[in-house]
Chains A and B, each alone.
Chain A
Amino acid sequence: MVNENLVKDVVKEPYKYGFVTDIETEKIEKGLNEDIIRLISQKKEEPKFLLDFRLKAFRKWQKMKEPDWAALGYKKIDYQDIIYYSAPKQKEKISSLDEVDPKLLETFDKLGIPLTEQKKLTNVAVDAVFDSVSIATTFREELAEHGVIFCSISEAVKNHADLIEKYLGTVVPASDNYFAALNSAVFSDGSFVYIPKGVTCPMDLSSYFRINSGDSGQFERTLIIAEESSSVSYLEGCTAPMFDTNTLHAAVVELIALDDASIKYSTVQNWYAGDDEGIGGIFNFVTKRGKCLGKRSKISWSQVETGSAITWKYPSCLLLGEESVGEFYSVALTNNLQQADTGTKMIHIGPKTKSTIVSKGISAGNSKNSYRGLVKMGTKATGSRNYSQCDSMLIGDQASANTFPYIKSQQPNSEIEHEASTCRISEDQLFYLQSRGIEFEEAVSMMVSGFCRDVFNQLPMEFAAEADKLLALKLEGSVG
C-alpha cells in the first residue's frame, strides 16, 4: 500500500482564500416567509412580475421535499436559521468604481481579481459578486460597443426587464427541484449576459462569487442568452472564508443558445471545504442547465470542482435544436470528509443531436465522490449520439468513488456509448517517478493532472493554468 501518512500530508491543502473581510453589512433577519421575499424584492426595487415569480416559487417550495437520493450524508439544513439577504453597506447609487468601498476592492485584489481601472485583468471582463450583491462589472462600455450586455442580474431586471421576463425560468422552471425553487424565491444577485445576433463576444466574461458572511446563504442566479450565430466564453470562480458552520449556496444558472450560437461555460469552484475533520464548509446545491434551442447550437460545460463540504450539481443540456451539441467536461476532487455527487444530464430531444461527457473524479482522504449522469434519447432524437467516459481515481484506501450512469432511450436509431474506469495511484507508479528523481508530491500531482488532461484541454487557457495550480495546491503539503 501507498504510505498512508505520506499521502495524507500531500493532499493536505492550505486554503488561502479563508479570510473574512471586516465590513459593515446590511442584513435582514433570519428566516424565510412571504414577508422576507417581499422585502428582498422591495430592496431590489423589482417589477411586479418578478415578485410574483418569487412568491409562486416560494409556495411551490413549501410543498416540496428536500431530495435525499444523492449519495450524500449531512445534517438537516434549518432553512429558518439562514439570512437570505446580506449586502455590504455602500452608497445608494454608485457611478464609478472610485465609490466602491476600498475594502471590497481590496478583497477582490487579494483573491487575484483586481477590479480597478489600473489593475484590472486585460483580457477578461469581470462581474464581482460579494454575498448577495454585485459589486462591479468591468469593461462594460467596451462590451456595449459590440452590443454585448454584461451586468448584474439586478441591473438587468431594471434595464432589460423584457429579456428577463421572456427568459427567466424557461430553462430551469421554479418548480424544477427543491433547491431551484428556493433560489427562485430568494435569489439576490448574479450575472446577466446577452450576446446579440452574429456577435462573437470580444473577450471572455467572468463572474467571481465571494461568500463573506457566515450566517447568510448565497443564492445567485445567472442567465446567459446567445442569439443566432453568436458565441461567448464565460468563466466562473468561487471562494469563501473559513467558518466552522456550514453555509448554504444554492445557485441557478440558465443558458439559452439559439440557431448556430455557442456558449462555453467554465467553472472553477473552490468554496471553503471545511477542515480535515469535516467541520464547516459550504453546502453547494446548484442547478445549472442549458437549452440548445436553435439548430446547430452548442453548449459546453466545463467544471473543476475542488471545494465545498458538499457538492450537488449536474450541469445539463436540453438538446432541442436539430444537430445541436452538448458537452460536459468535469474534474471533481474531494479530500478529507468532502462529499460530491455531481454529473450531468444530456436530454436529446431534437434529431441528430450530439453529446459528449467526460468526467474525472479524484477522491482522497475519507472523501466520497460520485458521478451521477443521465443520457436520454427522446422519441424524435433520430440519429443522435452520446459518448460518455467516467473515470475515477482513488488516492489512499479510505476514499470512495461511485458511478451512477442512467441511460434511457426511446429512439432505436440513436447511439449511446459509455465507458468507465477506476484506478488507484499505485506505489509502483510513485516509485517509478521517484526513481527518476521526481519528488513524491510532484509525482502525485503529475499523475493527477495527467488523469485530468482530457478535461483541462477543454478549459480556456488562463483557467487551465489556474486549475492545474489549484489541483497541485490541493495536493501540496509538507512531505515526511
Chain B
Amino acid sequence: MQSTMKELDPILEVENLSASTDNLPILKGVSLTVYPGEIHAIMGRNGCGKSTLSKIIAGHPSYNITNGDIKFLGENINSLEPEERAQSGIFLGFQYPIEIPGVSNLEFLRVSTNARRKFLNKEELDTFDFEELVKEKLELVKMNHAFLSRSVNQGFSGGEKKRNEILQMALLEPKIAILDETDSGLDIDALRIVASGIKKISNAQTGIILITHYQRLLDEIEPNYVHVMSDGQIIKTGESDLALELEKKGYEWTDNFIKEN
C-alpha cells in the first residue's frame, strides 16, 4: 500500500528545516514528507519544537527560517504570507484557539471560507448559501447553531474551541491539516466527536499531521507514521506501534535515541 502512495507527489516536504525566534534556535534540521492519504503523528516533550514546527509551516511571523525549505505541492513556500498558505490549502488547528471579541463566528467562518473558495476559483458564498453549508458541517462536530452568533472563540469552553477548529477545517477543506494538540483539554466524548470529524474530513487526497502527547487520540485515528521530536529534531520515526511503546516507556526512553544519534 505504501508503495502506491509514493507514486503520488508529496503534499508537504519539510527539508532540513532550522528556525529561530529572537535569535534562539528552536528547530535544528527537521525533515518530514507527507504524501496524500497519510496521517503522521508527532510526539515529544513540551518545548521540543513540535508546536513551533506547526506554526512555521503555517507562516507565523515570529519565527525566522535560518536554513532549509518548506515545500507545499512542490512549491517553496518559505516566504509566503500566512493567508496565502491558508488559501492554498494549509490548515493549522491551534492548540489554544484565539479569542476575537466582537467578530461574529459566522462572519469569520464565511470570510475565511470565501478566501479559500476564491483561491480555488469557486464561487464565493453569500450569507444564505453559507448558512446552508455551515449547517451541514456543524453536524460533523455536533455543534449547536448558537455558536455561530457568538464572537470567535470568546467564552467557548476548551472543548468548544477545539470543535470550532475542526469546523473550520471542514469548511476550508485543506490539502494538509496540522492539528496541534487538538486532543488536549477534551473529555472522552468530545475527543470521539473531534476524532470522527477529522476522519470524515480527511480522504485519500489529504494529509494530516497530528501533534499530540497522548496515545488516546491515536487510538481513534491510527497514524501511518509516528515521529518523536526532541530538542528541535526528529529523533525517531516509526509506525503506529511506536506511539504505544512511547506511552509505555515514557519520553525518558527516547533520550537514548539522541545518544544513538
Collect the chain B residues with CB atoms within 8 Å of residue A423's CB. Answer: 101
Q: A447-B100, A451-B102 are in contact. Are A440 and B111 (CB under 8 A)?
A: no
Assembly CA distance A447 to B100 (angstroms):
7
Q: B257 at the A/B interface (Cβ < 8 Å)?
A: no
Report yes or no: B101 in contact with A431, Cβ–Cβ below 8 A: no
Chain A, 395-439, CB within 8 A of any chain B CB: 423, 426-429, 431-439
Tell me if A450 is interfacial: C-beta within 8 Å of chain B: yes
Give the A-B pair count, Cβ closer than 8 A: 79
Is A3 among interface residues, defined by CB-CB distance under 8 A? Answer: yes
Contacts of B108 in A (CB 8 A): 433, 436, 438, 446
Given A433-B108, A437-B87, A447-B103, A427-B94 contact (CB < 8 Å): no
Residue among A427, A428, A435, A447 with most chain B CB within 10 A: A435
Contact A434 B102 (CB under 8 A): no
Give the residues from 90 to 106 in chain B that come closer than 8 angstroms, CB to CB, to chain A: 92, 94, 97-98, 100-104
In the complex, A427→B55 CA distance in Å?
13
The interface residues of chain B lying within 8 Å CB-to-CB of A446 are 100, 103, 107-108, 111
Number of interface residues of A (CB under 8 A): 25
Chain B 161-174 against A: per-residue CB contact (8 Å), 1 yes, 0 no?
Answer: 00000001000100
List residues of chain A with CB within 8 A of the CB of B83. 434-440
Q: Which residue of A lies closest to B116 (CB)?
A: A437
Q: Are the CB atoms of A450 and B59 closer together than 8 Å? A: no
* A9 within 8 A of partner (CB): no
A residues neighboring B (CB under 8 Å) = 3, 423, 426-429, 431-440, 442, 446-447, 449-453, 480
Contacting pair B94 A432 (CB below 8 A):
yes
Distance A3 CA – B115 CA, assembled complex (angstroms): 23
Residue with the highest number of chain A CB atoms closer than 10 Å, among B60, B97, B103: B103
**In the complex, A349 Cα to B116 Cα: how many Å?**
56
Which residues of B lie under 8 Å from residue A433 when comparing CB positions?
100, 108, 112
| A437 with B97: CB separation less than 8 A | no
Known contacts A431-B98, A434-B81, A437-B115, then 11 further A-B pairs from the complex at CB < 8 Å, ordered by chain A residue: A427-B62, A431-B60, A432-B94, A434-B82, A435-B58, A436-B86, A438-B112, A439-B83, A440-B81, A446-B107, A451-B101
Assembled-state Cα–Cα distance A440/B97 (Å): 18
Q: How far is the CB of A9 from chain B (nearest CB, A)?
A: 14
- Residues of A contacting B31 in the complex (Cβ-Cβ under 8 angstroms): none
User: In whole Å, how far is B144's beta carbon from the nearest beta carbon of chain A?
Assistant: 21
CB-CB contacts below 8 Å: B150-166 with A: 151
A450 to B59, CA, bound (A): 25
- Which of A3, A426, A436, A437 has the most chain B CB within a 10 Å cutoff? A437
Provide the bound-state CA to CA distance between A436 and B112, in Å.
5
- Docked Cα-Cα span, A426 to B61, in Å, equals 12
Residues in A whose Cβ lies below 8 Å from that of B101: 423, 450-451
- Which residue on A lies nearest to B101, using beta carbons? A450
The answer to whether A438 and B115 touch (CB under 8 A), given A432-B94, A432-B97, is: yes
- Which parts of B74-88 form the interface with A (CB within 8 Å)? 81-83, 85-87
A451 neighbours in B (Cβ, 8 Å): 101-102
Chain A residues in 8 Å Cβ range of B98: 426, 428-429, 431-432
Of the residues B60, B61, B94, B112, contact of A437 by C-beta under 8 Å: B112
CB distance from A184 to the nearest CB of B (A): 40
* Residues of A with C-beta under 8 A to B81: 434, 440, 480
